[in-house]
Amino acid sequence: MKFIGTKRDGKLVYPPVIAEKKRRYWERVPDGAVVESSLKQPRKNKSHDQVEMIWGLLMGKAVIELDDRGYDTSFLYNLPDPTGIKIEEEDLCRFFYQVCPIYNEDGQRITLSKTDTKQASDFFEKVRSWMASQWQIDIPDPDPNWKAKKGASDVRRT
């Protein structure tokens, strides 16, 4: 069973309904039974805007840089001959899921859409470091005002 509470004045406090449910569950556990307990502070899921930022900034800049250098998909797959197929964001995403895999708490591989804010941030940093060290592509720190600037630039285009 999973019980969610809040820390108040140094103690774990459950809402009355949860506290009652927990008490009833505990009464049914026989004496001498082995019980597993864990504590975890849940992390907020990342927003769609954060995922857009990762794709837009990280993958977008990398695709442009690789294209400017004349690389095609043969570069990603280490093929001896050029394929003539442009590297797309989806290609890079699949590539980085292999190079910098993301795991959930159960050790299962997950994609960016299943991450929380910390996992997404860690993935972003690993990919940035990999790009810098292996491909000499510098991805700057995210601009916290990127969305406002994007909206302003969209308005100017119309």
What does the block give as tokens for 4?
A: 């969610």
**HSE value, Cβ hemisphere, 13 Å, CA-based, for 23:** 7
In terms of residues, how long is the chain? 158
* Domain range summary for the chain, segments of one domain joined by +: 1-42, 48-157
Tokens of 46: 């990342």
C-alpha angle with apex 114: 90 to 145, nearest 5 degrees? 75
Kindly give the confidence (pLDDT) of every residue in the chain, 158 residues in length, as a single tens digit, with 9 standing for 90 and above: 677 788 889 988 888 888 888 889 889 999 999 988 877 777 666 566 666 666 677 888 899 999 999 999 999 999 999 999 999 988 998 999 999 999 988 889 998 878 877 888 888 889 999 999 999 998 877 666 656 766 655 544 44
Q: Give the angle 115-118-123 at the CA atoms, nearest 5°.
A: 70
Q: Residue type at 52?
A: E
